Amino acid sequence: MTTATQHALTEDRIRLLRDDFPILAEQPGGVPLVYLDSGATSQQPRQVLEAEWAFRTQRNAAVHRGAHTLAALATDDYESARERIARFVGARPTEISWAMNATDALNTVALSLAAANRAGAVDPALRILAGDEIVVTEAEHHANLLPWQRLADETGARLRWVEVDDDGVWSTDALRALITERTRVVALAHVSNVTGLIADVPAVVEAAHAVGALVVLDACQSVPHRPVDLRALGVDAAAFSSHKMLGPGGIGVLYLAEALGAALPPARVGGSMITTVTMTEHEWLPAPQKFEAGTQPVGAIVGLAAAVDYLEGVGMAAIEQHELVLGQRLAAGAASIDGVRLVGPPPGQERAGIASVIVDGVHAHDVGQVLDAQGIAARVGHHCAQPLHRRLGVAATTRASAYLYTTDDEVDRFLDALAGVRAYFGAA
């Protein structure tokens, strides 16, 4: 890394860090790139690209299979990555298993709970009966909503949700009020991918655990952007994705607290996750291996571990502080533009480095085209959160999401371009 100390992300330091990201020097459409879509997919530094390339060209082999030297080296890389990622989120290596992405990881939890119930689970932590309740929020990404809809349908449980207000914000008190003795699962995002709302996870965990419910955390927008200690938070399961934290696509992480990982059956079965198989019987390996059926994307896992090393070198506290400031800059700037409606916590209230907006009289897709013509890559659409947008009364919003390589100037370029959108379309 160009600089590896833990000091604040000043403009000078960010400029040096940006040299590690080749794509940021690109000029799509002939104008300098302003990349404000890291909430969807972050960019990768050379260190990550080189780590994955080195594995694929020097140590590529099947892990936990074969006795040759190359297989042993690949296995060492594979398990070293698990240890580094576990440390990064305050977990034990046995609590970290691989998934295709965070969506797959969240589905794994729900599918494993469904499998436990089909098998007649006797463990009260796994048993979901007709009339029991699964609690979510109206702001959830579809990846943390659809698996629970399906689990409710299969078990006869009732899906309940805390509603958002006119700004797309839900309250901790309202969520806790929904938790009852019948609640079996509470699933929520640590940080909303639309509003930037930061959930009070410890308060939710305390209320859920008081009635014996499991807490499942969508950590996609928190683990890449702030220090996260999953064991300290007390959640039972969590998921996050490599491609949102400087790593390659095609790999996600599933955290299962030790007790839950030991109790849950696997969602998928096949090679690599068994000890013994006969024509009529089988025996699973313990967690995490029992959740890792089949050949894993080892090169991508090595790349993710390199991304974690990079993030640790920059300093997660520094990244968090930088993005909190950018979040306020985005929120205040957007809220000050006539005809632009900011979604989520208002300026001055804590929010992540995400700002979604509604431009009066202009569809979000048209807003995105105006921004793109000026080199600004922002996200438009429902962001896989249709219920939230339906509550806001719109089909889509325009979202700017910052990361460690985002500068004040880039935020200002976005805000300047946003301020001109209504006039461009004659809607002012």
Which residues are identified as catalytic?
384
Return the C-alpha torsion angle 227, 231, 232, 236, nearest 10. Answer: 110
Q: How many CB atoms lie within 10 A of CB 295?
A: 13
- Rounded to whole angstroms, how far apart are CA atoms 93 and 80? 9
Question: Euclidean distance between the first and final Cα of the chain, in Å?
Answer: 46
What are the angstrom distances between the C-alpha of 126 and each of 147, 162, 259, 352? 16, 23, 11, 33
